[in-house]
Amino acid sequence: MARDKGFLTDLQIRHWVKAGTPLAKADGNGLTFTLSAAGLAGWILRYRHGGRRRELSIGRYPDISLADARGIATIKRAEIMQGRNPAADKQKAKATTAKDWTVRELVKDYRAKKLVSLAESTQVSYGRHLKRIENRLGALTVREIEASDVIALIEASSLTWGESNMLLITTKCLFTHACGKRLVNTNPCHGIMLSALLGERPPKRQRLMLTREELHLLLNAGMRKRNSLIIRILLATAVRSAELYKAKWEDVYLDEARWHIPKSKTGPAMDIPLAPVVVGWFRELRGMAGESAYVLPAWTRGRAARNGGDTHVSKDSIRETIGYWLDTDKPAVRRFTPHDLRSTMKSHMRALGIPRDISEMCLNHKLSGVEGIYDRHTYFDERKEALEKWAQFLVACESASNAVPITVAKAVQGPD
């Protein structure tokens, strides 16, 4: 047991500190007062644990007085007698404190180490939800976050079902990152069911097929020339809007009537045959692009300047162009998205007698089953014939709304 009174006195300690001579003086039972050459005074408890000599730093003097040091030493000796190692416990506590990150720190680490490796579109989607997480939970420590906090985040955000689901996915990925760093042992998002919070997911919107009459109005829309060319090329090639607004002239071979689409997460690399009329539309865009490397360069100097002097139009520009025309001119055309132009081509191609497999390949869709695994033929010539037939159909729709048999307009509608 520790003695009630040790060997040292307050007067001695104050004298040693004033003198400034480095020393180490024992108070008994392992408690030692130390003074370094730099004039730092403190307390150390020396003891044995597991057959080895150990040291535990108790604290600085005069922050911890002689009486306080003796009291702390008595408590630590009792822990040692119970088989514990105070020095190891202190080290673990330091490690825990070092890892006691805030959610804001976790988000920063996730952005630097994980988000940058994801696809560009995923970075944009996750990025906006990470901001929501920071705004609501950023000041809390990662260890504090519980399932109820995540649920409150989702409910307070008041998003659509799809966006709420993406917020939950982003939060789950963020805390999976935290688990990987051993900041927490379990992911607070596990077990959360969005259907229990917001009800079952609404049915997906069916893809729209524009009729012959609607195509006639669209192809004769009073848009700016560049916007009109964009819509025509999307219709004629059925590429995804991102594939067009990100396209570079280095991939467009007008003399060969060929457009190369690089490989992306939405599909493999593909060469698209360009019908003669489509080549003409591209040539018109080429004259408008100036020195830009992009087929659709940024519309504003500010956007280009923010992106190194040259970049493509924003991802929303085509959708906004369509929306502006529908809202301003109010044509007899149902509201549609750029992606609906793909389903429009697919449906009309079937009505034009183009085989299903060829129409699917024109959309850069993979063939299903065993055929999709073993058939590596690109069907370039077959697709060229199909796309030229489709381009002729569009030209006919543009010239007169009744130029095409009515049976074409009644092609089966369905999801893309």
pLDDT for 93 beyond 70? no
pLDDT at 113 over 50: yes
33 and 135 belong to one structural domain = no
**The pLDDT value given to residue 94:** 62
Asked whether residue 359 is domain-assigned, the answer is yes
Domain holding 30: CATH number?
Answer: 3.30.160.390
Confidence band of 409 (pLDDT split at 50, 70, 90) = very low
Per-residue pLDDT at 370: 37
Q: State both tokens at 351.
A: 């009505």
Scan for tokens 């609906």, then name that residue.
340
The mean pLDDT value for 364-373 works out to 51
CB-based burial label for 219 (10 Å; 0-12, 13-18, 19+): middle
For residue 222, what are the domain limits?
Answer: 212-409
Start-to-end CA distance of the chain, whole Å, equals 82
Q: Say yes or no: 71 and 148 in one domain.
A: no
Grouping H, G, I as helix, E, B as strand and the rest as coil, residue 242 is helix
168, 198, 228 — which closes off a domain?
198
Contact assessment for residue 137 and residue 153, using Cβ atoms and an 8 Å cutoff: yes
- Look at 222-231, 337-346, 395-404 and tell me which has the smallest mean pLDDT: 395-404
pLDDT, position 172: 96
24 inside domain: yes
- Of the candidates 44, 69, 98, which is a domain's last residue? 98
* Sequential DSSP letters for 136-158: HHTTSBGGG--HHHHHHHHHHHT
Does the pLDDT of residue 140 top 70, yes or no? Answer: yes
CATH number of the domain enclosing 392: 1.10.443.10
Q: What is the pLDDT of residues 267-295, one digit of tens each?
A: 678 899 999 999 999 999 999 999 999 99
Q: Is residue 392 part of a domain?
A: yes
pLDDT at 205: 67
Question: What is the reported pLDDT for 244?
Answer: 93
The percent of residues in the chain predicted with pLDDT above 90, rounded, is 62
Report, as an integer, the average pLDDT of 339-348.
Answer: 92
Residue 205 counted as domain residue = no
For residues 364 and 231, membership in a common domain is answered with yes
Among 47-56, 100-109, 150-159, whose mean pLDDT is lowest? Answer: 47-56
Q: Say yes or no to pLDDT of 416 above 50.
A: no
Residue 377 is predicted with a pLDDT of 61
For residue 405, pLDDT beyond 50: no
- Specify whether 85 is located in the same domain as 191: no
pLDDT band for 128, please (50, 70, 90 cuts).
Answer: very high
Q: Are residues 271 and 374 in the same domain?
A: yes
pTM score, whole prediction: 0.58
| Cα–Cα separations (whole angstroms), residue 95 to 105, 177, 186, 188, 287 | 16, 18, 18, 22, 63
Q: Alpha-carbon distance 278 to 390, whole Å?
A: 11
Residues 258, 391: one domain? yes
CATH (domain of 151): 1.10.150.130
CA distance 184 to 165: 23
179, pLDDT greater than 80: yes
CA separation, residue 324 to residues 285, 295, 340 (Å): 21, 22, 16
Number of structural domains in the chain? 3
* % of the chain at pLDDT higher than 70: 89
Residue 1 lies in a domain: no
pLDDT in tens, 42-89: 999 999 988 889 998 899 999 999 999 999 999 999 988 888 888 887
Q: Supply the DSSP string of 267-332, one letter for each residue.
A: B--EEEE--HHHHHHHHHHHHHHTT-SBSSB-SSHHHHHHTTT--BPPTTHHHHHHHHHHHHH--S
167 and 226 share a domain? no
- Is 377 part of a structural domain of the chain? yes
Q: How confident is the model at residue 137 (pLDDT cuts 50, 70, 90)?
A: very high
Reported as a single tens digit per residue, the pLDDT across 19-51 is: 999 999 999 999 999 999 989 999 999 999 888
> What is the average pLDDT across 325-354?
92
In this structure, are 256 and 164 located in the same domain? no
Res 375: pLDDT:
41
Average pLDDT (165-187) is 93
Band (pLDDT 50/70/90 cuts) for residue 302 is confident
Q: Is residue 206 part of a domain?
A: no
23-27, 78-82, 303-307, 353-357: the lowest-pLDDT one: 303-307
The overall average pLDDT reported for the chain is 86
Of the residues 66, 98, 130, which one is the last residue of a structural domain? 98
pLDDT bin (cut points 50, 70, 90) of residue 410 is very low
Query: Do 92 and 112 fall within a single domain?
Result: no
Q: Which tens digit of pLDDT belongs to each residue from 222-264?
A: 999 999 999 999 999 999 998 999 999 999 999 999 999 988 7
Which one, of 384, 365, 354, lies nearest residue 258 by Cα?
384
Residue 5 lies in a domain: no
